[in-house]
């Protein structure tokens, strides 16, 4: 079957969904019966990321609505921005931005061109309050914005706002505009707040309510707000049943929008936000520019989506694939011709090119380099920490880096020579021993990721070793990473941490081991892994012993 | 010829065909560039040697210098007023009138006629009409109608260029002196350098030599600046390269591109390895040559060649139309090249492109401080190629351009490829 | 009495059409139980302006060799040394012509200010200052003010499109009369009319604040603390709006001076410098008196015609005709003009910095974009364009930094300026100058 054929087949109904893995018969749902029980973790209050905010607005109001402005910086915790969203709040500057954007969005939604489609009813008079029509608007749009039905209190509040503003401005739509702006700065829009309800099956335990489930699911798989169908499934109770949940999960997984979810996870997992502040010395790398950075990030995401979503491929093949995507700007750094003036071209790294796998992309080699030189240590450290989930301790405070930094020292012409000398210091040797042999395999890529064969006139030796496996070059490193069992385990742990927005709890260890095992059995397919998480009990389990918010509390008011 | 051309076309049709015909997720191989070398030109202008012995009498007399005696003849009050602060517009008016005629300084052109001879138009009337782009009377549009003091031309013995005529007067050549190249090659033909080499605005080293220079470097800055700003881009493709160091038959094709020449942010350095889309120039003259590579030096056989360019501030592409053009390029290990393109320009075309193709020829005349009539006369006098069959007078003048280029990927759109035959 | 009831009363007040004449006691109850916020300062307005000089800089004499904070000062920036930490130096950003003609002294200016290089010399795109004035300039007497020290009203680089130029005021006296003449609105005068739109905006926030209780019940202690921070931020904006509903504090620096004497005008440099200095002071005063939030000041025109007294050759002619000096290797007379331009910029910044506002100065609450028409005038190049920003836009822009770009579009600068001024703009520029990347290292 051709690449991408399975996905196509699913869409036209030849394959049924449980057969996502290579269309081979394998009953995924029966193995969920083996899913270990977990107690879950604490409920979450996660701030929407910039992408999530933008995408939500586009989904609710249409893609013509311009969302400008700046967002507050995000926070990386436990290796993921997703975990940081559960820690950050909204500062005064940030709030001003949200307020400005809310008013700008509301003005667009209710301008004379848009109001016909935005407002589901026609007011009796354009200059007078119309409670019925305003109620309908606030109820319908509020459900989309707040991701759950609008409470009576909020409805009353917004209705009063709309009425007062309409009276003041003699404009019904201006009234709605103020009400809408209020919904858009609401903490219940800007934060995804979990709501707990008792677990029907185990009344002593809690779990997420159906709307919180819908929200988790939608942001995990599509990185946006739940659509009407998902909210309806929450409202009808379908999402609280295994079948109903599975149906929705499979709907989201087979939509082209799954690409957004996969992209967002990998941007986070690979630390791509660091591109925003990456700088290179223009005298050393004259080809470097901002456009190149934007494209470098996108190149790797395109390869990821192509392999993992379109081809439903093996996650580990990301480290060996020669198939890639190129723009003219990138072609300069890769020294490859690119035909389209604008946009992307699919290519294979040509024969004889040492590049293979995403470790040899600019998104890795340029990101983990200094502004003016490559860094075997940064690259090795990134592989250990991000791709193998093995933290590397920071260097001691008093360490002398002179040898490493003096790239013009005639005694140490290559990075390998410099680092070898540096490792003679026993304080440094411990860490460098596990980091450098990885990074040195990528030394043929300079600080921008351009190919070179010599450094300061000396040939570059790119052989190395990863956890006992020797290799000859960068492609060998990719293969070693591909074959290393920790590579897949790290992905499983990271994806679950990303999905839950928190570090795994001790009670979830058995569940993670199970998930790891299933990932291997599924052929390391990311969509299968997402599905296992999304239909699991563990994903929705709550351990809210601290505060015990209840359904009653939510309804009170 | 046809076969070889098909090989080249075939390569690209194959690549594009694959790309277009197959499903979007089918990879096309990165193009095999082994037999094709692409270059984007980062410098292309007259190769000006500027030896210290070139202009022993000083720079050529240009408009500013020619107008001095006129200003001197004015009554002192009027002259002082003209040269006083705030009156530069009037002064410019005089200079302009001096080459344009006009009403503001009605007598300027008459005085000019008294000093340097009257216009040579029939019936004693100033010529009018359009030689260049504007229907005005001016000495740059009608250089043959005026007689300025003869141009000071290059006296030095060294110039860049190539021996275009085998070192002797051939059927193609009129009597002229040859230069020696800076590397010692004899019989270098570069008569256009002899003409332009002492015109102030065409020189850059003038500053070091003469305190009187008013516009050194101006012309080079203009023309090179246009390339740097991205208004004009020249691509060179070398095809059928079996061996990059020695190959007895290669093809060279020139293209323009709408994309900017890639330069690094600081400085004049080109950035290698850009992909640039070729557009075939609209010129009537061919833009293909054949040649050979010997020890890494590419030389081409004499052929007519049109090189597209766009002058500063001009919207439309123009062409340097070389006759019997020859490249001599050192192919560098990093994929770049540097060297010379030499050949002959028809005198009328050479003159037109530098001195009469602009809207405000006369004002530019003042900026680079040249005299259009003197330059035109010198070009005719120095002409050394393509003698007229009847009169024996040479109709073309030898020249040499400096070429610098960096490696580039020349990308051909499908349509161009299809029409290439 | 709860906050809720207060707000609802006010909403009814607005509803009854009483908004415009709403009484102060009403506002007291409208506000909150936190009266201290009233006494604190109403946020100071943030202004945006451009300062233009013609004919670029001299290669090797202006662009610092070091980047980042603590950059070095080369000779042509020496007059700005004392403002080093209040400005940013931006180099290496290109105007991209995309195969269109680089029209001498036009393309560079138009490209910097509109993010577009027109095909036919007719700009269809508004300049930065107009875009920003549309967003922030609607609540002052003048949407923007344009001045030129050359005296020629045509020396303006502010337009909605090339058919709608905003002409410059060329005479300090005329400028004084226009701003401080009979129609002058003294910000310290006694009448004050609160803006009903601000009242409504504040009500929106108060409404959200009322919804707090419902949400808090659902949160654990840690998340409650985070939600409290959110509401603190909301409250701060609410207080800011409340302050805008009150009579503004006296504009201390707004002390209108005597009308200036008429000065001669023209392109002679001493005349330009004298006019420029006076205009800088009058403009600073106009800003201090809140007459406008947006301005454009032209020191010398695009392709500058400025010349020295007693000499007929203008700066423009010099850039083409002057030879590099044998010893120094650069055009010394042209460079002299560049230095004078930078000196003038320092004079302008001094005028802004001389006005006290709150804890800082007017300069701090302003964002100035200083730019020119070319990089190196001799060749009219529009790549690697030099420009600067000054002031920190009330703290929204970091300063004291040299950013050296590598041929990226100069629209990155324009986008940054718009974002620093709070405009909801994510993408700016056309063709290969389209960018979505502001200079994030400058945005505070």
Q: Does A289 have pLDDT greater than 90?
A: no
Indicate the pTM of the whole model: 0.79
Overall average pLDDT of the C63-75 stretch: 93
Predicted local confidence at residue A269, as pLDDT: 97
More confident residue, C262 or B324: B324
CB–CB contact C98 B312 (8 Å) = no
The fraction of chain A above a pLDDT of 70, given in percent, is 90
Predicted local confidence at residue C119, as pLDDT: 82
What are the tokens at C185? 């609105």
pLDDT digits (tens, 9 = 90+) for C141-156: 888 999 999 998 889 9
Contacts of B362 (CB under 8 A, 6+ apart): B96, B99, B100, B138, B139, B140
Instruction: Specify whether the CB–CB gap between C7 and C30 falls below 8 A.
Output: yes
Instruction: Give contacts of C241 with chain A, Cβ < 8 Å.
Output: none
Overall average pLDDT of the B173-189 stretch: 90
Question: ipTM of this model?
Answer: 0.85
Q: Does A260 have pLDDT greater than 60?
A: yes
Place of tokens 């000062």: C73
Instruction: Categorize the per-residue pLDDT at B1 as very low, low, confident or very high, splitting at 50, 70 and 90.
Output: very low
Overall average pLDDT of the B334-352 stretch: 93
Residue of C90, C91, C98, C101 to mutate for B, most B C-beta atoms under 10 A: C101
DSSP letter at A123? -
Chain A residue at shortest CA distance from B262 = A287
Instruction: Specify whether the CB–CB gap between A319 and A481 falls below 8 A.
Output: yes
Element (H, E) at B288: strand B288-294
* B314 in C contact zone (CB under 8 Å): yes
Chain A residue at shortest CA distance from C196 = A168
Q: Which of A21-35, A238-252, B18-32, B397-411 has the lowest mean pLDDT?
A: B18-32
Residues shown for chain A: 557
CB–CB contact A337 B272 (8 Å) = no
Overall average pLDDT of the A309-317 stretch: 97
Task: For chain C, give the mean pLDDT.
Answer: 84
Instruction: Categorize the per-residue pLDDT at B122 as very low, low, confident or very high, splitting at 50, 70 and 90.
Output: very low
Q: Does A486 have pLDDT greater than 80?
A: yes
Chain C residue at shortest CA distance from B64 = C321
CB–CB contact C99 B259 (8 Å) = yes
Nearest to B261 by CA among C383, C104, C385: C383
Overall average pLDDT of the C85-98 stretch: 93
* A335: closest CA of chain B, how far (Å): 5
Overall average pLDDT of the C88-110 stretch: 87
Q: Does C87 have pLDDT greater than 60?
A: yes
Residue of A2, A337, A344, A345 to mutate for B, most B C-beta atoms under 10 A: A337
Residue of C2, C223, C420, C422 to mutate for A, most A C-beta atoms under 10 A: C223
Range with top average pLDDT, A16-30, A64-78, C19-33: A64-78
Coil vs helix vs strand at A386: helix
What are the tokens at B177? 């002196």
Q: Is B104 left (phi over 0), alpha (psi -120 to 50) or beta?
A: alpha
Place of tokens 């193995």: A31
Predicted local confidence at residue C3, as pLDDT: 38
How far, in Å, CA of B89 to CA of B69, rounded? 19
Q: Does C208 have pLDDT greater than 50?
A: yes
Instruction: Categorize the per-residue pLDDT at B110 as very low, low, confident or very high, splitting at 50, 70 and 90.
Output: low
Q: Does C116 have pLDDT greater than 80?
A: yes
More confident residue, A291 or C48: C48
Q: Which of B10-14, B77-81, B374-378 has the lowest mean pLDDT?
A: B10-14
Q: Does B192 have pLDDT greater than 50?
A: yes
pLDDT digits (tens, 9 = 90+) for A359-415: 999 999 999 998 888 999 999 999 999 999 998 887 776 666 676 777 777 777 788
Place of tokens 């390895």: B273
pLDDT digits (tens, 9 = 90+) for A139-197: 999 999 999 999 999 999 999 999 999 999 999 999 999 999 999 999 999 999 999 88
Predicted local confidence at residue B168, as pLDDT: 67
Range with top average pLDDT, A7-16, A54-63, A534-543, C378-387: A54-63
Predicted local confidence at residue C76, as pLDDT: 97
**Which chains sit next to A, with 3 or more Cβ pairs under 8 A?**
B, C
Q: Does A50 have pLDDT greater than 80?
A: yes
Instruction: Categorize the per-residue pLDDT at C277 as very low, low, confident or very high, splitting at 50, 70 and 90.
Output: very high
CB count in 10 Å sphere of residue A139 = 16
Instruction: Categorize the per-residue pLDDT at A2 as very low, low, confident or very high, splitting at 50, 70 and 90.
Output: very low
Predicted local confidence at residue A176, as pLDDT: 97
**Chain centroid to CA A83: how far?**
11
Chain C residue at shortest CA distance from B226 = C102
Q: Does C22 have pLDDT greater than 90?
A: no
CB–CB contact B265 A339 (8 Å) = no
Q: Does C320 have pLDDT greater than 50?
A: yes
Q: Does C258 have pLDDT greater than 80?
A: yes
Rg (CA), chain A: 26
Strands C47-52 and C366-371, by their bridges, are: parallel
Coil vs helix vs strand at A446: coil
How far, in Å, CA of B123 to CA of B276, rounded? 55
DSSP letter at B272? T
What are the tokens at B400? 């040499």
Nearest to A87 by CA among B222, C153, C188, C227: C227
Identity of the residue in B213, B230, B258 whose CB atom sits nearest the CB atom of C323: B213
Instruction: Specify whether the CB–CB gap between A26 and A18 falls below 8 A.
Output: yes
How far, in Å, CA of B271 to CA of C407, rounded? 11
Contacts of A202 (CB under 8 A, 6+ apart): none
* A285: closest CA of chain B, how far (Å): 9
Angle formed at CA A470 by CA A354 and CA A426, multiple of 5 degrees:
110
Q: What values do phi and psi take at C329, rounded to 5?
A: 80, 5
Q: Does A3 have pLDDT greater than 50?
A: no
Instruction: Categorize the per-residue pLDDT at B118 as very low, low, confident or very high, splitting at 50, 70 and 90.
Output: low
Nearest to A45 by CA among A221, A187, A258, A255: A187
Expressed in angstroms, the distance from the first to the final Cα of chain B is 11
Predicted local confidence at residue A216, as pLDDT: 96
CB–CB contact C406 B230 (8 Å) = no
What are the tokens at B243? 């061996």
| Burial (CB count <10 Å: 0-12, 13-18, 19+), residue C195 | middle
Identity of the residue in B19, B26, B275 whose CB atom sits nearest the CB atom of A331: B275
Chain A residue at shortest CA distance from B413 = A339
Q: Does B93 have pLDDT greater than 80?
A: no
Q: Does C20 have pLDDT greater than 50?
A: no
Predicted local confidence at residue B87, as pLDDT: 62
How far, in Å, CA of A519 to CA of A511, rounded? 12
How far, in Å, CA of B126 to CA of B118, rounded? 9
Instruction: Give contacts of B27 with chain A, Cβ < 8 Å.
Output: 323, 346-348
Overall average pLDDT of the C332-339 stretch: 92
């Amino acid at each position: 079957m051709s690449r991408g054929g399975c996905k196509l087949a699913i869409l036209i109904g030849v394959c049924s969904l449980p057969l996502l893995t290579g269309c081979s018969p394998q009953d995924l749902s029966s193995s969920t019966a083996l899913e270990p029980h977990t107690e879950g973790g604490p409920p979450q209050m996660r701030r929407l990321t910039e992408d999530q905010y933008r995408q939500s607005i586009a989904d609710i109001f249409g893609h013509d609505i311009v969302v400008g402005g700046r967002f507050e910086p995000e926070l990386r915790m436990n290796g993921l921005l997703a975990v940081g969203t559960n820690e950050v709040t909204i500062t005064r500057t940030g709030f001003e931005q949200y307020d400005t954007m809310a008013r700008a969005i509301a003005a667009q939604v209710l301008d004379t061109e848009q109001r016909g489609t935005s407002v589901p009813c026609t007011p009796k008079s354009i200059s007078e309050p119309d409670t019925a029509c305003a109620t309908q608007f606030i109820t319908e749009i509020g459900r989309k914005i707040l991701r759950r039905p609008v409470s009576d209190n909020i409805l009353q509040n917004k209705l009063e706002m709309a009425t007062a503003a309409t009276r003041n401005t003699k404009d019904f739509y201006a009234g709605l505009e103020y009400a809408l702006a209020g919904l858009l700065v609401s903490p219940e829009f800007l934060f995804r707040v979990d709501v707990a309800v008792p677990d029907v099956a185990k009344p002593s335990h809690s779990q997420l309510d159906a709307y919180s489930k819908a929200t988790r699911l939608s942001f995990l798989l599509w990185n946006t707000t739940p659509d009407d169908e998902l909210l309806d499934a929450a409202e009808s109770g379908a999402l609280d049943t295994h079948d109903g949940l599975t149906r929705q999960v499979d709907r989201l997984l087979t939509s082209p929008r799954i690409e957004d979810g996969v992209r967002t996870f990998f941007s986070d997992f690979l630390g791509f936000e660091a591109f925003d502040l990456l700088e290179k010395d223009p005298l050393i790398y004259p080809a470097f520019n901002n456009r190149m950075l934007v494209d470098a990030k996108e190149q790797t995401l395109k390869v990821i989506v192509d392999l993992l979503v379109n081809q439903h491929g093996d996650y580990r093949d990301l480290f060996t694939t020669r198939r890639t995507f190129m723009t003219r700007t990138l072609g300069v750094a890769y020294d490859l011709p690119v035909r389209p003036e604008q946009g992307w071209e699919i290519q294979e790294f040509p024969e004889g090119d040492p590049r293979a796998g995403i470790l040899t992309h600019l998104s890795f080699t340029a990101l983990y380099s200094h502004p003016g030189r490559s860094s075997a240590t940064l690259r090795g450290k990134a592989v250990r920490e991000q791709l193998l989930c093995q933290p590397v301790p920071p260097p001691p405070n008093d360490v002398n880096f002179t040898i490493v930094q003096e790239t013009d020292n005639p005694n140490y012409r290559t990075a390998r020579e410099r680092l070898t000398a540096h490792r003679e210091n026993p304080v440094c040797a411990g860490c460098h021993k596990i980091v450098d042999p990885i990074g040195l395999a990528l030394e043929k890529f300079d600080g921008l990721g351009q190919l070179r064969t010599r450094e300061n006139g000396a040939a570059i030796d790119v052989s190395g070793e990863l956890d006992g496996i020797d290799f000859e070059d960068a492609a060998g490193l990719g293969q070693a990473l591909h074959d290393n069992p920790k590579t897949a385990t790290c992905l499983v742990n990271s994806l679950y941490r990303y999905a839950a927005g928190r570090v795994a709890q001790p009670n979830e260890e058995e569940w993670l081991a199970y998930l790891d095992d299933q990932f291997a059995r599924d052929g390391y397919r990311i969509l299968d892994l997402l599905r296992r998480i999304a239909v699991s009990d563990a994903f929705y389990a709550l351990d809210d012993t601290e505060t015990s918010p209840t359904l009653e509390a939510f309804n009170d008011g | 010829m046809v076969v070889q051309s098909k090989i080249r076309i075939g390569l690209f049709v194959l690549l594009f065909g694959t790309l277009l015909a197959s499903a979007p997720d089918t990879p096309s191989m990165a193009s095999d560039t082994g037999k094709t070398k692409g270059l984007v030109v980062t410098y292309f202008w007259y190769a000006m040697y500027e030896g210290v012995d070139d202009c022993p009498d000083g720079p050529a007399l240009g408009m500013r210098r020619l107008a001095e005696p006129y200003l001197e003849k004015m009554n002192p009050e009027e002259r002082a007023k003209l040269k006083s602060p705030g009156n530069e517009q009037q002064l410019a008016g005089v200079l302009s009138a001096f080459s344009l005629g006009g009403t503001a300084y009605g007598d300027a052109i008459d005085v000019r006629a008294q000093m340097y001879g009257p216009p040579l138009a029939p019936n004693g009337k100033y010529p009018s009409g359009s030689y260049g782009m504007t229907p005005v009377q001016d000495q740059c549009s009608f250089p043959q109608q005026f007689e300025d003091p003869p141009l000071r031309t290059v006296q030095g013995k060294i110039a860049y260029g190539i021996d275009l005529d085998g070192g002797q007067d051939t059927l193609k050549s009129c009597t002229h002196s040859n230069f020696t190249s800076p590397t010692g090659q004899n019989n270098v033909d570069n008569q256009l350098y002899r003409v332009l080499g002492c015109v102030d605005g065409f020189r850059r080293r003038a500053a070091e030599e003469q305190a009187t220079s008013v516009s050194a470097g101006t012309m080079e800055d203009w023309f090179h600046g246009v390339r740097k700003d991205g208004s004009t881009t020249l691509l060179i493709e070398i095809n059928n390269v079996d061996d990059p160091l020695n190959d007895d038959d290669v093809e060279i094709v020139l293209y323009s591109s709408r994309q900017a020449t890639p330069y690094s942010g600081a400085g004049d350095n080109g950035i290698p390895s850009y992909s640039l889309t070729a557009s075939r120039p609209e010129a009537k003259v061919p833009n293909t040559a054949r040649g050979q590579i010997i020890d890494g030096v590419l030389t081409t056989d004499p052929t007519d060649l049109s090189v597209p360019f766009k002058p500063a501030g001009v919207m439309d592409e123009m062409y340097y139309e070389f006759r019997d053009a020859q490249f001599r390029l050192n192919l560098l290990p990093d994929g770049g090249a540097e060297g010379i393109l030499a050949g002959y320009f028809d005198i009328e075309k050479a003159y037109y492109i530098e001195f009469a193709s602009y809207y405000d020829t006369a004002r530019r005349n003042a900026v680079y401080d040249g005299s259009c009539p003197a330059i035109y006369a010198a070009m005719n006098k120095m002409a050394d190629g393509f003698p007229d069959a009847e009169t024996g007078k040479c109709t073309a003048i030898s020249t040499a351009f400096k070429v610098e280029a960096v490696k580039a990927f020349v990308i051909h759109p499908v349509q161009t490829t299809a029409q290439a035959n | 009495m709860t906050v809720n009831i207060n707000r609802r009363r006010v909403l009814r007040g607005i509803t009854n059409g009483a908004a415009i004449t709403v009484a102060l006691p009403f506002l007291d109850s409208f506000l909150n139980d936190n009266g201290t916020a009233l006494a604190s300062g109403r946020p100071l307005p943030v202004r945006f302006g451009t300062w233009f000089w013609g004919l670029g800089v001299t290669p090797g004499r202006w662009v610092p060799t070091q980047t980042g904070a603590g950059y070095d000062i080369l000779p042509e920036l020496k007059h700005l040394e004392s403002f080093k930490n209040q400005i940013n130096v931006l180099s290496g950003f290109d105007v991209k012509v995309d195969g269109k003609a680089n029209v001498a002294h036009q393309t560079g200016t138009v490209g910097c200010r509109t993010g577009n290089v027109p095909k036919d010399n007719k700009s269809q795109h508004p300049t930065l200052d107009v875009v920003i004035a549309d967003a922030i300039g609607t609540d002052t007497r003048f949407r923007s003010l344009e001045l030129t020290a050359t005296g020629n009203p045509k020396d303006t680089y502010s337009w909605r499109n090339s058919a709608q130029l905003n002409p410059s005021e060329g005479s300090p006296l005329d400028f004084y009369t226009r701003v401080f003449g009979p129609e002058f609105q003294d910000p310290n005068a006694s009448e004050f009319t609160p803006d009903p739109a601000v009242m409504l905006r504040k009500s929106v926030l108060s409404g959200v604040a009322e919804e707090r209780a419902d949400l808090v019940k659902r949160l654990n202690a840690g998340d409650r603390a985070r939600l409290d921070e959110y509401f603190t931020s909301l409250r701060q904006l609410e207080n800011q709006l409340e302050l805008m509903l009150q009579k503004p504090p006296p504009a201390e620096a707004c002390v209108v001076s005597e009308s200036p004497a008429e000065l001669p005008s023209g392109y002679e440099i001493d005349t330009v410098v004298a006019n420029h200095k006076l205009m800088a002071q009058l403009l600073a005063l106009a800003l201090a008196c809140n007459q406008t939030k947006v301005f454009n000041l032209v020191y010398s025109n695009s392709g500058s015609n400025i010349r020295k007294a007693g000499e007929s050759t203008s700066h423009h002619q010099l850039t083409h005709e002057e030879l590099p000096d044998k010893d120094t290797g650069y055009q010394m007379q042209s460079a002299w003009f560049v230095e004078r331009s930078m000196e003038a910029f320092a004079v302008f910044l001094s005028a802004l910095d001389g006005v006290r506002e709150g804890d800082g100065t007017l300069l701090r609450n302003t964002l100035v974009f200083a730019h020119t028409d070319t990089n190196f005038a001799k060749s009219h190049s529009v790549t690697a364009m030099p420009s600067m920003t000054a002031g920190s836009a009330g703290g929204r822009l970091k300063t004291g930094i040299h950013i050296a770009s590598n041929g990226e579009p100069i629209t990155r600068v324009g986008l940054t300026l718009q974002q620093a001024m709070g405009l909801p703009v994510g993408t700016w520029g056309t063709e290969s100058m389209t960018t979505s990347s502001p200079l994030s290292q400058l945005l505070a």
